[in-house]
Amino acid sequence: MIRVLLRLALFTAAVAGLAFWAVTRPATLPADTALPAGDPVNGALVFAAAGCASCHAEPGSGSPDAPVLSGGRAFKTDFGTFYAPNISPDPDAGIGSWTEVDFARALTKGVSPDGQHYYPAFPYTAYAFMTPQDTGDLLAYMRTLPASPTVSQPHDLGFPFSIRRGLGVWKVLNQSADYHLQGELSEQEVRGRYIAEGLAHCSECHTERDALGGLNRSRWMAGAPSPTGKGRIPNITPGVLGWSEADLTAYFTSGLTPEYDSAGGDMAVVIENLAKLPEADRAALAAYMLRIETVR
């Protein structure tokens, strides 16, 4: 009887191990994946909307039009400290040796060229909505930026968060194939949804997280603790914020609120990026914001 129970336990453990291995296997893209010919001019707009420089640019280096993406910024969380990596075109320290498939897989699947899961401090669950054209344009633009030989810092994480394979389970729970905002939308609102939920990943800051670090979708855009540990990122659902489409568009352009306060902190950088987009995109983002559900 003991032998039977032992064999059953070993079999169950083996099945569970295989299931875990299958579920947590990093996603792949077809080997023949090819991005459309990249347009670096549009890529610069995608880069601005996505806020890449906000995390990856070395302060005071390069220029606004040619930031040095050497990384290094620290992000302290309940799971440990994450450091933004070097994503400059340097072939050794950065991503200069990456293929189009490597780039698309990292951006939309959260998987490195060597087949490792990226931590969701990199907002790939949002970038997963990026179109192939925007992905190709972004890569074309990033290849024009200065290279940096700065070596990326390793993340400072304790067990079990240091085990990347477990992120496969996190992705199953949190990487959605569908947009949050559903229903019948105008062409403008569809564009705004793409910018908000994909490129600009607004929810990454404005939506609180659950115990596993996933977005609490029942409180979409309803505010969250500030990662600095001081104060809160505000609730921007329409019934709480109380701004009109014109108010929002003006804020995305100038950083001025209807009360003539100005955006500060990280939001000031977000506004600086949004102001680079066509006015139609800022209006589309405002239209999207007015369609999301009010959460108090």
The answer on 45 and 151 residing in a single domain is yes
- Contact between residue 212 and residue 77 where contact means Cβ atoms under 8 Å apart: no
Asked whether residue 165 falls in the same domain as residue 263, the answer is no
Mapped onto helix, strand or coil, the DSSP state of residue 149 is coil
Radius of gyration of the chain (CA): 21
Whole-number Å distance between alpha carbons of 225 and 244: 25
pLDDT of residue 199: 96
58 domain-assigned = yes
Q: What is the mean pLDDT of the chain?
A: 90
Task: Kindly provide the b/e burial profile for residues 135-174, where b requires at least 16 CB atoms within 10 angstroms of the residue's own CB.
Answer: bbbbbbbbbebebbebeebebebeeebeebeebbebbeeb
pLDDT single digits (tens) 43-102: 999 999 999 999 999 877 767 778 999 999 999 898 999 999 999 999 999 999 999 999
pTM: 0.90
Position 29 in a domain: no
Residues 251 and 214 in one domain: yes
Name the residue range of residue 240's domain: 201-289
Count CB-CB contacts under 10 A for residue 15.
10
**Residue 5 within any structural domain of the chain:** no
pLDDT band at 16 (very low <50, low <70, confident <90, very high): very low
In a domain, 80, yes or no: yes
72: in domain: yes
Evaluate if residue 19 carries a pLDDT over 70.
no
Last residue of a domain, one of 174, 190, 216: 174
Express each pLDDT in 197-231 by its tens digit: 999 999 999 999 999 899 999 999 999 998 777 78
Q: Specify whether 282 is located in the same domain as 158.
A: no
Cα separation, 168 vs 135, whole angstroms: 23
Check whether 166 has a pLDDT greater than 80.
yes
Judgement on whether residues 269 and 226 belong to the same structural domain of the protein: yes
**Residue 149 counted as domain residue:** yes
Q: Residue 170's pLDDT band (boundaries 50, 70, 90)?
A: very high
Over the stretch 234-281, which tens digit does the pLDDT of each residue have? 999 999 999 999 999 999 999 999 998 999 888 999 999 999 999 999
Q: Is the peptide bond before 160 cis (omega within 30 degrees of 0)?
A: yes
Domain count, the chain: 2
Cα separation, 273 vs 252, in Å, equals 9
Token readout for 176 is 């959605």
CA 194 to mean position of chain CA atoms: 13
Tokens of 142: 């990033």
